[in-house]
Amino acid sequence: MLTIISLTVLGILILAEGILGKKSWHLPTILAGLPVSLVLTLFGWNQNIHYYNSMIIVDNSSIAFSAVLIFTTFIIFMFAGHYYKDVVRPLDDIYAILIFALAGSVMMTEFGNLVILFLGIETLSIALYVLAGSHKEAITSNEATLKYFLMGSFLSCFLLFGIALLYGASGSLNIDEISRYTLREAGHLSPVFRAGLFLIIIGLAFKIAIVPFHFWAPDVYEGTPTLLTAFMATVVKVASIVALFRLFNNCFSSIREVWAPTLWILAVLTILVGNLTGLYQPNLKRMLAYSSISHSGYMMLAVLAFSARSSGALILYAAAYSVATVTAFGILILIRGAKGNDLYTSFEGISKKNPVEAVCLTIALLSLTGIPPLAGFMAKYYLFTTALEQGYLWLVIIAIMGSAISVAYYFRPIISMFLKKGDGIKLESGMAYKTQVIFLTILTLALGLLPALLINLL
């Protein structure tokens, strides 16, 4: 609860600075405020506090995932100074909306009531509709925000209708009460409850970009400003997966036979379609969009294979995926700034004059592929092991096949950087920017070598 309040206050403070015309204060305020919110979040460790008749539940699981979301947002803001260095207009609106979106994502990790879940999703979604179209001069940005708004609003109706049906069947919006209802009625659930459950799956699947509800993601990711795409691909993705994980395993665990086959099929489709379609993308940004879709499928294994180890495996995967993805987007910002596009041909010969950036991007992509001993490999190892223990052998085999397919498209920019001749243009990164990228790369290595730091938290 303190996290939501502190983030809301931080967002309002940024808006107040904009009114006062203190543009230069925005980033320092945010980079100081987010660690404060992180510390306030960690204060609740081992306390398991329920607020407002259990509408918000702050336990170790919600704290750990909230910490990952706040840290990811922090490292994204570390790149903001470089990304917006040529922008003259005030940026208080964009920065404040990002903070409010983060507050919505934290609500999605702390909900104990379906009303709070819906409010968190809509707080996050409305902010993203605005951010996707923040580059008003670009037609692709306008297209992205229109597509995202129309489809997002439509799918929110499915989610809300599903929540209403669950309330009508169970008589409560509290997840503990609904859990008791499902335990009591497990053998003969009403059709109304079943319909509400599957409408919620559809609504959340859109937010996570699960196949076949993924069709919006590549176009929206490509049209959205790159820094904000990094936020969508990491913070939004992780918050949505955590919401699905928390809802189904805290609320519907006693009726797994009802929803598990559906999520199994969706996970398989997401892994295969995401990876196979990623092979045919002409540029890094669209490739990362399909990469994020495939990783949604991998993270769904934690929802399906719920056990004592699932939370730890998911927190490691979320952290490893977020750090590697932000690193890749950080290098992508430099490439687009130098070349004006992110086609694979723009990466040719980059390693000649930019060895640090080339190596960092390579490590990030190898981590996303799942190459040992990087964080991505250890995250997939623990996630797949957990799924095997719960009997999901074929799902793990398909996930391994998906990872093998991903090698082909993750290696395309690597091959371009190191093995193809190009003009070898010098990227204008600066020492501070380069230090941030190196820090994230070291973090990827550290999480791979010391996964127990996160696995044993939950």
What is the per-residue pLDDT for 178? Answer: 92
Average pLDDT, the chain: 89
Whether cis (ω within 30° of 0) applies to the bond prior to 212 is: yes
Question: Could you report the per-residue pLDDT of 406-444, keeping only the tens digit for each?
Answer: 999 999 999 988 888 777 678 877 888 899 999 999 999
From CA 187, how far away is CA 144, in angstroms rounded? 44
What is the per-residue pLDDT for 34? Answer: 95
What is the per-residue pLDDT for 138? Answer: 66
Question: Could you report the per-residue pLDDT of 256-291, keeping only the tens digit for each?
Answer: 888 989 999 999 999 999 999 989 888 888 899 899
Which residue carries 């599903």 as its tokens?
162
- How much of the chain, in percent, has pLDDT values that exceed 70? 98
Query: Residue 379 pLDDT more than 90?
Result: yes
Query: Residue 377 pLDDT more than 90?
Result: yes
Confidence bin at 361 (pLDDT 50/70/90): very high
What is the per-residue pLDDT for 343? Answer: 83
Average pLDDT over residues 324-342: 88
What is the per-residue pLDDT for 24? Answer: 82
From CA 177, how far away is CA 157, in angstroms rounded? 23
Could you tell me which residues are beta bridge partners of residue 263?
none
Question: Could you report the per-residue pLDDT of 149-183, keeping only the tens digit for each?
Answer: 888 888 888 999 999 999 999 989 999 899 999 98
Query: Residue 140 pLDDT more than 70?
Result: no
Average pLDDT over residues 201-228: 86
Question: Could you report the per-residue pLDDT of 17-71, keeping only the tens digit for each?
Answer: 888 888 888 899 999 999 999 999 998 888 888 888 889 999 999 999 999 999 9
Q: Please give the residue that has the higher pLDDT: either 242 or 187.
A: 242
Query: Residue 458 pLDDT more than 80?
Result: no
Question: Could you report the per-residue pLDDT of 97-107, keeping only the tens digit for each?
Answer: 999 999 999 99
Global pTM value = 0.94
Residue 275 corresponds to which amino acid? N
From CA 408, how far away is CA 373, in angstroms rounded? 19
Average pLDDT over residues 317-345: 89
Q: Please give the residue that has the higher pLDDT: either 217 or 323.
A: 323
- How much of the chain, in percent, has pLDDT values that exceed 90? 52
What is the per-residue pLDDT for 378? Answer: 93
What is the per-residue pLDDT for 424? Answer: 67
Backbone angles phi, psi at 268, to 5 degrees: -65, -50
| Rg, Å, the chain Cα set | 21
What is the per-residue pLDDT for 137? Answer: 67
Average pLDDT over residues 230-246: 92
